[in-house]
Structure 1
């Protein structure tokens, strides 16, 4: 069994994913999880839940789940191609007219054509791909390869035997750019398994977890607040300090509102500017992470349990950063599922706490997670009010 890598060797994003899988294995009995629309993804997801907590999910996806992870990744990459094609044909950004609009559209199109060839120029009636909503439903090898071959032909890119964009920048846009340049004789599914197994594992895991996240759950059933309380619990660890300012209890979950400060010598030298650093899936027309942004920030507690030993899914649902003197100031909200039932305490943990770090992809301008500095173990216990009525 592949051992889990040490905290300092993995990004905060990967640690969050591990904890979400762990939480799903230890939910309160009877807690329902969303069912994934794609049978392929659902099968992979169920297999991941059967793994032990000590089993590295990415290593398992690279080995036992390699073929399915590659198939799912190719399907998701085709969906991205459809999305990029539709985006390129939309109107200029709101508020831009005349020469400004033409300039922005021209820059975006030039960037996309450098990566994806004539993808933005393909006429709608010639865009020979099935609708995006059907892509995962028909994620079968032959059908997927046929759609991919048609797209390759329409993009008119010079073939490359060993494209490496997605090695330098392991994200879906760079992977699409590499796949579109594969020689016709190369089977893309075999190439993905042989050359990009780690990236396929990351894409498959991220997709499965995103589909069953608290945000997805609450989109289907809007939460109604039953009770709010302000614990004002403070915590401090090395250059990180903060407090839990408010907790909202819903019928089907809860939200934890936090504020934090991170001491950093560079804070004063970077002008004050609000930032939402978690928006990684931006189109090329949207702004990239600014040079005035912090080099590392905190994304909350990874593990949330209660005094009965049950776990809770959690996800950053709101996030803002600004700077002041030698500090970066953060406001964030963790959206959690399910409701705490009759639990008396919530235990918030990071073992250890770490600051999230990303680098900006030079090609796709997405945020690529990298390992950040670890700070040490952090635990905060919240006593729930006796009047809570969640079930």
Structure 2
């Protein structure tokens, strides 16, 4: 009887294991992104809003909300001063640490150029780094015309530098891309389109880990890929009909909000196929390898989702791009320098061997 009770207790205490994923929106723009994610019904992650402006924080939806800098700002915001946003986050550092406890993957969503996102974002990134949390920053930067000869450019550059130093990867969308792709939309709709792009990236990565498939990409695959130094690319494409896999791949590689991306020299590639996938459609992995080169480590997952009907979705995560290209460029430069050095040495040695012969006779033409 005692053994049966002990066995029953063990079953009761058994916990469901799996990666804990959180998205933390910081500042007004970040909280808007979280609000849109809640509206979109994003599953598989806890959505947390962080702000100094209590009125703005209360007006947006989120799973959890954290007001920072209560004593410093009294809930009135940071006044577009990043130093205030930074101090506000430090004031409530313990609350932020408690919120991040046990997190495996963190996305920090923010708009740069203001006070809270630019100031508190790097502090949260520093906390995550101290807790060894895999962290990706997804940020939106202001229009170039806003930053010309202004303090805002300094704020953006410094915030981006601090984030880059503390997170594993940064995904950036410029508001200039909003104008290029949404010039005839209302401002509110255009900004929401930019938010949708960031949300799709985050949701795509969450889906790689959270959705169980016929063939899975696990959290350690994501961990290895995102911790790779260098530039990272995330692409999502959906298509149906004839050659839908090729069309979905082309769509994933050509996001108008990101611009042209060269994948040559990449080190890690993860591809997730979602939908009613036919085996031959997996051959587009070979097409992707042509773009990355033979040295890339490529792994794919397949998730069956009949709700997509005739369409399929492809999510691509590529990392280590810049570093590989830079190494290749440096090696080529060294090779050219060594060849030039050898040629110069040969010319000098030849001149010394024939030092008694006049120059015009050594080089007649």
TM-score, normalising length from structure 2? 0.25
Higher normalized contact order (CA 8 Å, seq sep 6+, divided by chain length): 1
Say which structure is richer in helix: 2
Structure showing greater radius of gyration is 2
TM-score, normalising length from structure 1? 0.24
